[in-house]
Amino acid sequence: MTEPIEIRLSDGRIATVRRPKGRDLRNAQRLAGKDATPYETSLAMLAQVATIDGAPIVMEDLDDFYADDINLMAEAAGSFLPSRSAPSPS
């Protein structure tokens, strides 16, 4: 999947989530910090790839989002990544 995904949030705004690039991963790790939890890194990643009603967001903006909206956005971002399958036996 390469097209951005649009999601209607619980407050009626539209979140658009695009396919992540390598620079998004690097920027998310830098923004979250070296001692960040996986959740904090995920929020930093969402801030890299999502817009709300066409406007960019920063990681701290997500603090005021409802958890179910964050989950919907995270699921959309995750849909761009390949699923992990068990390694095949050699």
Q: pLDDT digits over 47-86, tens only?
A: 999 999 999 999 999 999 999 999 999 999 988 877 655 4
What sign does the dihedral 48-42-3-80 (CA atoms) show?
Answer: positive
Give the distance from CA 15 to its chain's centroid.
11
User: pTM for this one?
Assistant: 0.83
